[in-house]
Chain A
Amino acid sequence: MTDQTDSHLVKRFKEGEEKAFNQLVLRHQKKIYDLIYRMTRNREDAADLSLEVFVRAYRNLKDFEERSSFYVWAAKIAVNLCLNFLKREKFRSFLSIFDLAEMKTTTPSPAEEMEKSELKVALDSAIQSLPTRQRTAFVLKYYQDMSHQEIAEIMGITEGASKANYFQAVQKLQKLLARYH
């Protein structure tokens, strides 16, 4: 069964075989988690959102037309969830200016913070400072090793725009991380 392609598993699920979906989850859970972690830079948020990706994938898999691979489709769900999450977080942090008691911290616990090296903190900060389009293109290209065609499909942009976003992200990171070169 493990030799089956995603496409076969999707077909079996559409035919009513629930277990086929489990295989898809087990096959892609780590990569989806990694994608979300790279976008949010937070373990707990990544854990919660990656579960949600598969819940949404389950609900919509019957309508999946397979114009792209299952993973690209699931990554698109993940990216959309992340972008919504980041927007909410941005809004929350904006509100927290007025009400510090309501502030939800996305920064790691002190124990986690201690584990982090200075470089890690700088990397988190640099990637979080990228505009969302650039961050998405960068994460999908650099960490997920996707082609610009796949990135364009996920982000709903052209391949050229994907390349440009990626290059702009790289340029910004070069400046922000110059002292670690």
Chain B
Amino acid sequence: MKCNKIHILLSDYLEDSLDPGERKWVEQHLGECDCCRLKLKEMKQLYGVLAQDEAPQREEDFWTNFLPQVRSRIGEKKRLKGSLVPKTRLALGFLSLLLVVIIGYNLFHTDLRNLTGMESNQNVEMTVTEPVLSSAADQLADALSAESTQSKVTGVILSEEEKEDLDSTVTLLTENYLSQKEISFILDELNSDELKQLEESINKLKLATIL
């Protein structure tokens, strides 16, 4: 452990850059440790080899032109920095435009896809809901006929069964309307008398619910 610490100090020892306390400690150790003396010898040998490692000399022109070249590079970078501002703005503008186009395309594309999708879905919904709606219409018709035979026009007395039928019919129609919004297709097919009949029936139902 002590030898490792000495080894690290050997280069400073050779350069005579240790403080007096450290120097004394190293010298004392070297006097009694063969291993560290060998290390010191090897280090001196290495420094002898390294002393032959001279950096290749540059020609005088290189040093004469050095400062002008530094100045030229500084100037170039300044010009580049200056010219980058409008270029950056241009690039940012272009990127913004590109972004708008991409977002716009995606929105338009999505809407178009949704619209075309809706058209095809409508057909499916119509076919799917047709039996439900026809059954609802049947129930309504039954309820209306029952009402016409069993209740007075001005009266709002309906039997419990009729009320339940009407309730369920209207609920069914409302649900279909709210969930699928396809009731308008059915209503379009009703003639004015049928519509009037339906309206009256709904009014009666409202009154019945209030009462």
Contacts and interface: CB of A to CB of B under 8 A. Distances in A.
A55 B67 CA distance: 10
A29 B50 CA distance: 23
B42 A167 contact: no
A22 B17 CA distance: 34
Contacts of A123: 49-50, 52-53
B73 A55 contact: yes
B67 A26 contact: yes
A26 B64 CA distance: 9
B2 interface: no
Looking at chain A's contact residues, the main secondary structure is helix
Contacts of A22: 67, 71
Contact of A177 (B11, B46, B67): B46
Nearest to B47: A142
Contacts of A180: 49
B42 A181 contact: yes
Interface in B169-210: none
Interface string B59-71: 0001100110111
B63 to A, nearest CB: 7
Interface in A54-84: 54-55, 58-59
Contacts of A174: 42-43, 45-46
A141 B73 contact: no
Q: Which of A25, A55, A142 has the most CB of B within 10 A?
A: A55
A167 B7 contact: yes
Contact of B66 (A29, A147, A167): A29
Q: Which of B42, B50, B63, B71 has the most CB of A within 10 A?
A: B50
A118 to B, nearest CB: 11
A25 B66 contact: yes
A170 B70 contact: no
A157 interface: no
Contact of B49 (A59, A141, A177): A177
Contact of A119 (B10, B49, B55, B73): B49
Nearest to B43: A170
B8 interface: yes
A52 B52 contact: no
B56 A43 contact: yes
Given A119-B52, A181-B42, A181-B46, A167 B11 contact: yes
20 contacts: A25-B66, A25-B70, A38-B55, A51-B70, A58-B74, A59-B74, A59-B77, A119-B49, A119-B52, A120-B53, A123-B50, A123-B52, A141-B11, A147-B17, A163-B12, A167-B11, A170-B46, A173-B46, A174-B45, A174-B46
Question: Which 3 interchain pairs have the tightest Cβ spacing?
Answer: A181-B45, A54-B70, A55-B73
